[in-house]
Amino acid sequence: QSVLTQPPSVSAAPGQKVTISCSGSSSNIANNDVSWFQQFPGTAPKLLIYDNTKRPSGIPDRFSGSKSGTSATLGISGLQTGDEADYYCATWDSSLRAGVFGGGTKLTVL
Amino acid sequence: QITLKESGPALVKPTQTLTLTCTFSGFSLSDIGVSVGWIRQPPGKALEWLALLYWDDDKRYSPFLKSRLTITKDTSENQVVLTLTSVDPVDTATYYCAHRLGLVRGVDFDYWGQGTLVTVSS
């Protein structure tokens, strides 16, 4: 049972937009910055979004992040088959004094 | 160019202590704001944050594993070591180390090692 809650899976057609939610609490998302990671099978996670909305160099602007209250959202527009991967949200939890990850969401591009 | 690489045993017996080493280059753990963390992922399951070591030697541990985890650094060797005591088959996972730069608590690891699979079995 993860501290942050994500839907197990989402799907959409190529070219469409999909959103992945991440639900937390006042001790984590509400008061700390959220990051998002993309992970392909057998590879290490890759930082997609940090500080809720910022993209590291090299990440296309098709990927976007937002946060409101105790929830955060990753948006992926112009879906490509190459976007099929697992996506994880993460943040700091001030009560646990530790980092926490969501349970991950598998994206399928139909 | 920042790189990290994990090393350690591929197979550990139950009740033993697991020791993993993260050898890095391209940054110094003495630089303000730098931290190195450990994250693991059981086969087919989600990522799990384990521990974090800061440039000032401050340390944070997962409360769910705190009594079993220790994170240390060897600055001269550019290494961070994670030990996990009393391992159990549920500790079977790919263990990653990762780099972070920031003064505020966070989980925005920007560079990751390739991971090392550790199996706990008798």
Q: Over the stretch A33-56, which tens digit does the pLDDT of each residue have?
A: 999 999 999 999 999 999 999 999
Closest to B47 (Cβ–Cβ): which among A51, A92, A101? A101
Measure A13 CA to nearest chain B CA, in Å.
25
* A59-101 per-position pLDDT tens digit: 999 999 999 999 999 999 999 999 999 999 999 999 999 999 9
Do A90 and B47 make contact, defined as CB atoms within 8 angstroms? yes
Contacts of B40 in chain A (CB under 8 A): none
Strand pairing partners for B80? B22, B73
Predicted confidence at residue A1, as pLDDT, reads 78
As a whole number of angstroms, the distance between CA A61 and CA B41 comes to 28
Q: What are phi and psi of B39, to 5 degrees?
A: -135, 145
> Which residues of chain B are within 8 Å of residue A59 when distances are taken between CB atoms?
none
- Three-point CA angle B38, B83, B59, nearest 5°: 55
Cα separation of B15 and B37, whole Å?
24
Using the predicted structure, report yes or no on whether residue A105 has a pLDDT greater than 90.
Answer: yes
List of chain B residues whose C-beta atoms are within 8 Å of the C-beta of residue A37: 47
* B37/A90 Cβ within 8 A: no
- DSSP-derived letter for residue A107 is E
Nearest CB to A44 within list B46, B60, B115: B115
The span from the CA of B25 to the CA of B34, in Å, is: 13
Six-digit token string for B23:
């050898």
- Cβ contact B48–A101 (<8 Å): yes
**Which tokens go with A82?**
């190459």
Residues of A in contact with B49 (CB under 8 A): 90, 98-101
> What does the alpha-carbon distance between residue B98 and residue B113 come to, in Å, rounded to a whole number?
6
pLDDT number for residue B89: 97
CB–CB contact B46 A88 (8 Å): yes
Spell out the per-residue pLDDT of chain B, length 122, in tens. 999 999 999 999 999 999 999 999 999 998 999 999 999 999 999 999 999 999 999 999 999 998 999 999 987 779 999 999 999 999 999 999 999 999 888 999 999 999 999 999 99
CB-defined contacts A:B, below 8 A = 72
The reply to whether B61 touches chain A by the CB within 8 Å rule is yes
Q: Rounded to whole angstroms, how far apart are CA atoms A102 and B47?
A: 8
